Structures are given as C-alpha cells and as structure tokens.
Structure 1
C-alpha cells in the first residue's frame, strides 16, 4: 500500500527536468543578474546622484569620445586583419597548413603581457624600437619618439591587434564552410583573387563577420587593460577606467561607477539584438554541396608571407621586448651584453607573493572551468533540446549570453559591491574570484558545447532512447565521448582567458589574494619594470603549459577547434 501511494505521488520525469532547470537558472540569475540590478539600483538612489556625479564632470565628453574611438577603431583594425588572415589561411599550400594556427597563438599571450611588451618597445624615451628609429636620418636629431605608445591612436592600434585573433576564429570557421566549387567557378569566369574575395567570399562570410564583429565591438567597448596601463599617466580615460577609479578611490563611489557602466550595458544588449536582426534567415549563407563538398584551398605564396609577418608583429616582437627587459637590471634604451643577467628571474621565483599568485591563478581558473563545463553542458542541452520548456530556454539563453555583452570590469564592480556586504561576505577570498570567473566564462562554456550538440543532431540520442537507455546513460556513454573534442577545446579556451583575466580580478582581489595579472599591475605601478617583464613571461609560460596539457589529453586539434 505504501509503495503504491508513493508511486501515485511520484513527480513525472518532465516535471523533474523542469524543476532542475529552474533551480539552476535561479542560481545563475543570482550570480549574473543580481550584481547588475544592485549596481543600477545604487546609481538611481538619491535622485540618481550616481549619474549626476559621473556625467556632470567637465571631462566626461572626452571620456565618451575616447571610449567610442577605441571601440570603433580597434573593431576596424581587427575586422580587416582577421578577415585577411582567414582568407590567407584558406589559400595556404597543403604543406604549410600548420600556419593556420598562427593567428590563434597571440591569444595564448596575456593581453597585459602584450601591452607591457609594446610599452617597452615604443615608449617615447627608452623604447627599444624608438631608439632604433632615431638612428634613421629623419629622426636622428631627437632624443624621444618618434612613436608615443601612451597616446590614444596607439592604444587603439594595439587593442585592434589584440582583437584580431577573436575575429579570425569566427571568420576562419566560416571560411572552412565555403566550398571550393564557388571559388573555382568565379576564377573560371575570369575573376582575380581580389575579385573572388570581394564578390564571393565576403558575401558568404556575412554571418561570421557579423558574429565576429559583434564580439570585437563588445570587447573594444569594454577594453580596460590598454587604457589603464598606457593611458593612466597621460590622462587617457575610457568608461571602464572611470569605473575602476571611482571604486578604488577613497571613499569609493559605487553609484558613480555603476552609472559609468550603464552605457556599456545598454550598448552590449543592443549589439546582440542587432546581430540577430542583421543575420535574418541564415539559410541564405549555406554553401555545402552535400557529399561533393570540398573546402577551399590554394597555393598562394602571399598567404604564407602574410601569416608569417603577422606572427612576427603580433607575437614575436612584443615577446622580444619582454625578454630583453627581463634580462637587464634596469630598463633603458642602452643595451650591452654585459648587462644581461638572470637575477630578475631568481628574485621572482624567490618571492612568496609570486608563487602564491601563480597558485591562485591556476587553482581559481581550474576551479571555475570545472564548475563551468557541467553547467554549460546542462544549459546547452536546455537550449538545443528544451522545446518543451520554451520559457526556461529563452531565459537561459538570455542569462548565459549576458556576460558576453557586459564588460568584465562591470561584473568586477558588481561582485565587489555584492560580496562585501551580508549575507555573503566573500571579498578577498579565492571563492569570489572563482564565482566571477564562472560568470565570465558561462557564455563560452555554453556556446561551444551547444555548437557541438547541434552538429551531432538527434540521431544518437534517439537511437539510445529506443534501446532503452536513460537520459543519464545516454549523456555519459554517448554524448560526452562524442563531444570530447569540443569540451576540451572549451576547457583550453576558458583556461587561457582566465589565467589572463585582469579587469574583474583587479576589483575583487585583496592584497593577500592576488592572481598573476594583478600582481604584475602592482609591479608596474611601483616602477619595477624588469620584474614586470619577468612576471609577464611567467604568465605566458603558465598559460602555454595549460594549453599543452589540454592538447596532450585532447589531441593537437584542440587549439584549431577553438
């Protein structure tokens, strides 16, 4: 009797799934949405005093213009370079195919390390490239310049270089889906390589260009590292650095910081909506021809030269700048073999704070990845197969996409405000770093696994269900093994981004809980430039080791699957 009554009150399977999804969405809403709501509520308190304080300043117009110029300028550079590199990669000879990974490699180098490397090269006085340029007859009479890396144009250029890899990831994926038949038909009709590119390739790449351009624009609007490191001492401000200044000053002004971030939140949401509007019916861009489909290829020598030159400029040259400064006792334009020493690395490895920052970065990054992967898998499953839960699916799509459209510095301020007060006081702990990392990586964990699920279709799950397997067994024995490359690619990408993370970390860290990027920033502020260079190289090495481990487990294609 008891067992029969328990069966009569058993919760149906679809309701158990609904309750589970609802519980997860509630947790994610607490992490993602609540800090944003608290920030905006604070900005509107006392008659919107936060907005009056932020936008009543005499220099706010210049700050907004610089923010827009940085976003638009870096977007233009990244779109041109990213598209050119993707087209070049598609025209590589077969034996040079390994060069396709070159435009992805700059992602492995932390943005803060890249910026610092260029500062050592292009600083007006002791910058090594400037010293070489001053030996030319045009600038031989000057003792500074001719390039000033601390100005807005150069901050835009370096930011554009940093965003190029992200655009390349999207455009190269779209390029691989263009059949060689389309290109061959255009060439047979008499079109040159340039004509094929503009008349055939670019129109077919519209979805990839819109997605990649949208991501680059959002990253440009929320850019923090370049303006902070290069513009802080020269009066160059953007909205994100304004937010950091408002929070770091004494007393902190969270209301003004929230008001400074409001335009970025609105623009982020607007960019996502415009993306959907511009894409429209994506069936117009399908170019596969069934079994006869063959990706485009080529034998162009210019393609090899283009990728090699990009590697030199985006990766090798800033690394050389870091290596030179790290091996000298002080940073100056004069170099001598007698100056080179390993003392900076010895001091670095003997410093307890450095060791602790590496441990904190690795532990918090892996902790966030381990949390994000299963959450992303569940959310991807909801978005792909949750037709029965339409409202929950739409809500999940919004929550998981939100961190992609909002700069990391805004989440840093939101978490700093939320977790320095009851009921959860987590400021200065590794836990709060892990939580903000989980929020920042949620879109990547969800989107990359969702793409893999869509490519697999429903045939495997339906066959498993027909054989009597439960959803749990189907996921563990069928879906997860098939999705292993996508999952490991997501792990590699998230680990790279998290070990580089700087903006949010700078706001939620404490003096006793540092990650590598925040410790490097403190060294930069103190003027310990050789130590900064050594620390930047250490960050790059840690990320490289993590990516190497992911490739050892998932194969050589982990990076190419990003």
Structure 2
C-alpha cells in the first residue's frame, strides 16, 4: 500500500517556509537585547526594589540626612565644572591636532597618553605634588617671595575646585577621542574653501569645524557629563580629608559600612540613572538627521591638515601638565622609603619595586587583570558592532533601537560602584552563584565597557555614511558580505582603537572590582587601592607605575597588529 503524500507539500519551496530576513534580524536583535537587559537592567531593578522596600525606607535614609543638599550640590558642581574644562580642552586639542605641520603627526597621540595612567595613579601623583604640607610643588612655590615663611600651601589639592580641575583634565582625553574622530572625517575641501573666501583660522573653527563636529561634541559632551556625575576616584581619594562628599562616595560609604545599607545606596544612585536616560534622549533630539554631518566622500576624500606652529606647542604643554608632572611625582615617591617634602639623593632606592615583584599576589593580580580585561573586550566588540549597526542603520527596528540605545548608555550614568553592588546581590544567589570568580569580573567589565564599544564604532559608522553599504547592496551583496568585506575593513582602525581604549580602562578599574572580587581573586586596581588604604604610599606609587607599564604593553600590542593609527585614532 502506497503512502499518500500531502499535496500541500509537493509544490512547497523551502523559501516559502523560511523566516523573512527582516524578522530574523528582529529576533536576533531581540535575543541580544534580552541578554543585555539581564546583565545591565536586572541588577539595577533588584537594587531599586530594595530601595522601595518598607515604604521606601532607603530613600528616607538617604535623602533625610542634614547634609544631603551639600552632597548633591557638590555632585552637580563636579559634573558641570569638569565638563566645561574637558569640552574646551578636548576640542582645542583636537583642532590643534588637525593643524599640525607635516612630519609632526605623531603628536596627535599626546592627548590620549594620559588615559594610559590609571586614574587613581594620576590623582595620587597630584596629591604627592600639591598636598598643602609635603607636596613637592608646594614646597617649591613656598620658596618664592609671595609665599615664603609659610609651612603649608599655597595650593590645597583636597578642595572642591582642585578636585573639579583634576577631574576635568582626566575627562579631556575622552572628549578628544570623539572630537578628533569627527575631525579626521572632515574633508580639507571645506576648510580650504573657507580660507580662500578670506576666513581666519578662528573663523574657520567656529563657522565650519564646530557645526560639522556637532555629533562628536554631543556624544563626547554627554559622555563627559555622565562620567563627571559618576566620578568616584577624585572625590574618594582627595575629598575625604576635608569632608567633601558626592553621591558616588556616599553610595560607597553606604555599602562599606556595617551593616551595609544597600537600599540607601540604591536610592542615592537613582538621580544618576534618571539623568543618564534623559541625556541619551536629549542626544537623539539634538542630533536629528545625522546624515547631515557626513563629509566622507570616497576616493577624493582628503583629511584636514595644516602648518600651524601653535598646534605643536599646545599639545606639548598639555602633555607636560596632564602626564609628565604627575608622573614625576609618582616616580619620586616610588624611589623613596617614605613620602616627605624634603628630598636627597641618598634616599633614592629601588626597594619598593623589589618588594612589589617579590609579592606573589602582585603577579597574580596582573594575570587576573589581563585575562579578565581581554575576555571582556572579546565579548564587547561584536556586541558593540551589532548594537552600533542597529542604532545607525536599523531604521525598520526603531523600537529595538531605542531600547538598545537606553540599555547600552545606562552604564555611563550609573557609577561602577553601584554596578558592583548590583552584581554582588545578583550573583551571590541562585541560579548563578559567581561571586569571587573571574567570570563575574568579566561580566561586570562587559557591562561597564558597553557604552564605549557601541559609541566608538557608532561614530565610525556615522562618519562613513551610507555610500559604501548602498553601493554594496546595489551590487547584490548580502548584509553579511557587506559587513565582512566592506564595513569591517573600513572600520578596522576604529575597532582596534576601541579594543585599546577598553583594555586601558579595564586594567585600571577598581571600583566595581572592589565589590565583586574575593581575597583570592584580586586585580591590579583593587590591590593598589588596598595599599592606599593601608598608607603604603611608596608601594602605591610603584604599583601605579607597574599598572601603567602593563597598560602601555597592551596598547603596544594593539599597535603591532593595527599599526600606529590605533593610538592616533583612539
């Protein structure tokens, strides 16, 4: 007896049963967003649930304090003040880098170099120099007639104005990264046409350059503002001497006290979360149609250039102030048995470095830092590329794009300390108990680096425009082929720059690591912070220099793979 084959299957084609490409993309993006929401949103939801327990007792504990108004004011002043400094300096340095004379292009990497020094090391270096009593620069200033006879000052690095100044210097490199990326994609034809019409250098800057840099300025400014709001290192290390407190240090104090008040810590972080979401929405409104800012024109494209001597001088002066001077402070302290305002050649010794290399925990912390950082970067790059592609070209997925934009921007508005607390709560309970393992460090690193992975690749996509993808599609190439053969090669400098930046930031990270680490799982940042807490200042200086060397080694490896442009195009 012959089996009857249903007639509906005779003429059916595999294509008729296949899921349409548009829906496959939606499903793929939906799965990716669900994973990211689990990593980014779930820890914050658990913290906020704690804050609202017992009739929102966490909010009453936090905002019922007598000094909360001063804490909020200091937080806002730090964010706004550091933003202004970073935007002015970052934009000026990017314009100066674009006007460098021929043969001086290597100076473009100078504004990036301060990132290589850990933030905690930079702050400590300035403390060694500008502490009112034994600070080395203060000792020199007191030899001048104006301040002679005084035994302290004239500069007090532990005050709010100096915390703002140093934070602004620290954020300048981040602004420079975005603005310089946009500057390199401005065709020289625009500037030459303006100069031919009689415009001065200043006129070209304000009339041509700034309008074309609008996307980079908005993204860079938004990121700098959010980083300023969530600033932790400067206020913690410098502010505690004079009782300077911001929301981030208050949150850390809440989770460090015994018993820990997670609910109050979550309540303290709520304004930062709200502002982070608001700034993302403002960015989208201000940018509008982003294709207006594309000046990359294909084969005939020529980047900007110049012969301005002031440009070289500007970059060199910035390097001295932002990098060389605090580095000198670290070197001096690392070579002395104790920190003192008086120096003599007889005090210099390498004992601090010998003790450091003889300590097995130091070697283990370096291995853990490198492995967890590379693991997080390897996960972040493809996720960042997919999300950048969704945000730039996913016009048919507007809802998914908006959700993705919010999720990937949240880590900028939420301090790393709070993510550490959230991960501590989430991954010390079933179904995933990961506390104290390298895996949980990698996961929290992935969350912290998402904004940078997405924004840097997104900026590169915006600069390239749609010309290349449309030409590839017209030739019959699939989206996969277009991405692999067209977009990825063109974006290689931006991708390698993102790798270098994330590796730098992760090898320096200690705030979130401090909360998810175990005594047997240390990274370099947490070990350095323990030394700082113990008052081992020469060891702190030596460890900071070691961290800088490890980071520089990672950047050097990226340059070997991608060439000099990796650092100059960070």
| Match among 243, 254, 276 for residue 246 of structure 1 | 254
Structure 1, unmatched stretches of 5+, are: none
Residue matched to 1:12: 19
User: How far did residue 140 of structure 1 move?
Assistant: 1.3
Match of 1:531 in 2: 539
Compute the RMSD of aligned alpha carbons: 2.6
For residues 554 and 442 of structure 1, the distance between their equivalents in structure 2, rounded to whole angstroms, comes to: 22
**Distance (whole Å) between structure 2 residues aligned to residue 173 and residue 156 of structure 1:** 26
Q: Residue in 2 aligned with 1:110?
A: 118
Contact in 2 for aligned 1:272/1:405 (Cα 8 Å)? no
Question: Is the 2:280–2:406 Cα contact (8 Å) retained in structure 1?
Answer: no
- How far off its partner does 1:49 sit? 0.5
TM-score, normalized by length of structure 1?
Answer: 0.92
2:473–2:482 CA contact under 8 A, matched in 1: no
Residues 259-287 of structure 1, C-alpha deviation per residue, up to 9 Å, x if partnerless? 00011111111122222222334455455
Q: Alpha carbons of 1:477 and 1:93: their partners in 2 closer, same or farther (altered >3 Å)?
A: closer
* Correspondence for 1:176 among 171, 180, 184: 184
Task: Quote the Cα distance in structure 2 between the aligned partners of 1:77 and 1:475.
Answer: 38
1:202 equivalent in structure 2: 210
Does 2:271 match 1:263?
yes
- Does structure 1 residue 485 correspond to structure 2 residue 469? no
With 384-393 and 43-52 compared, the bigger mean Cα shift is at 384-393
Does the 8 A contact of 1:74 with 1:160 survive in 2? yes
* Contact 1:86-1:171 at 8 Å conserved across structures: yes
What's the CA shift string for 1:484-513, capped at 9, x where partnerless? 333222211111111111222222222322
Distance 1:267 1:472 in 2: 36
- 1:236 is matched with which residue? 244
In the other structure, the counterpart of 1:326 is 334
Which residue is 1:551 aligned to? 559
Aligned to 1:462: 473
- Among 366, 373, 382, the residue aligned to 1:374: 382
Name 2:356's counterpart in structure 1: 348
What is residue 27 of structure 1 aligned with on the other side?
A: 35
* Contact 1:218–1:407 under 8 Å retained in 2: no
Q: Does 1:272 align with 2:280?
A: yes
How far is 1:524 from its partner? Answer: 0.7
Q: What secondary structure is seen at the aligned counterpart in 2 of 1:233?
A: coil
Deviations 1:298-338 (A, max 9, x none): 22222111110100111111111111110111110111111
- Partner residue in 2 for 1:37: 45
User: 1:158 maps to which residue?
Assistant: 166
Change (3 A) 1:418 1:201: same
Asked if residue 73 in structure 1 is aligned to residue 81 in structure 2, the reply is yes
The equivalent residue for 1:97 is 105
Q: What CA distance in whole angstroms lies between the structure 2 residues aligned with 1:440 and 1:270?
A: 19
Worse-matched range after superposition: 7-16 or 104-113: 7-16
1:400 has 2:408 as partner: yes
In 2: Cα distance, 1:345 partner to 1:253 partner: 39
Q: Does the CA-based 8 Å contact 1:428-1:508 persist in structure 2?
A: yes
The alpha carbon displacement at 1:236 in A equals 0.8
Shift of 1:246: 0.3
Are the structure 2 counterparts of residues 451 and 141 from structure 1 closer, same or farther at C-alpha, using a change threshold of 3 Å? Answer: closer
Contact 2:356–2:543, Cα closer than 8 Å, also in 1: yes
| Alignment match, 1:130 | 138
Report if aligned partners of 1:225, 1:502 keep a CA contact under 8 Å in 2.
no
Which of 44, 58, 68 aligns to 2:66? It is 58
C-alpha distance in 1 between matches for 2:553 and 2:183: 30
Give the length in aligned residue pairs: 559
Q: 1:474 to 1:352 in 2, by over 3 A?
A: same
Measured against aligned partners, the alpha-carbon deviations of 1:240-266 in whole angstroms (never above 9, x if no partner) come to 001100001110101000000011111
Distance change >3 Å, CA 385–CA 326, structure 1 → 2? same
In the alignment, the residues of structure 1 paired with residue 280 and residue 335 of structure 2 have an alpha-carbon distance, to the nearest angstrom, of: 45
Q: Distance in 1 between matches of 2:142 and 2:265?
A: 42
Q: Distance in 2 between matches of 1:472 and 1:203?
A: 34
* 2:317 aligned to which of 305, 309, 313: 309
User: Is this contact kept in 2: 1:464–1:474, CA < 8 A?
Assistant: no
Q: Does 1:507 align with 2:515?
A: yes
The 3 A distance-change label for structure 1 pair 217 and 451 is: closer
Taking structure 1 as reference, are residues 426 and 287 closer, same or farther at Cα in structure 2, changes over 3 Å only? Answer: closer
Cα distance, 1:406 vs. partner? Answer: 2.7
Q: Which moved more, 1:62-71 or 1:280-289?
A: 280-289
**Residues 4-44 of structure 1: CA distance to partner in whole angstroms, max 9, x if unpaired?**
89969965253554433332222111101111111112111
- Tell me if the contact between 2:230 and 2:248 (Cα under 8 Å) persists in the aligned partners: yes
Looking at structure 2, the residues matched to 328 and 519 of structure 1 have their Cα atoms a distance apart, in angstroms, of 20
The structural deviation recorded for 1:158 is 0.4
Secondary structure in structure 1 of the residue aligned to 2:260: coil
Task: Report the CA distance between 1:180 and its aligned residue.
Answer: 3.9
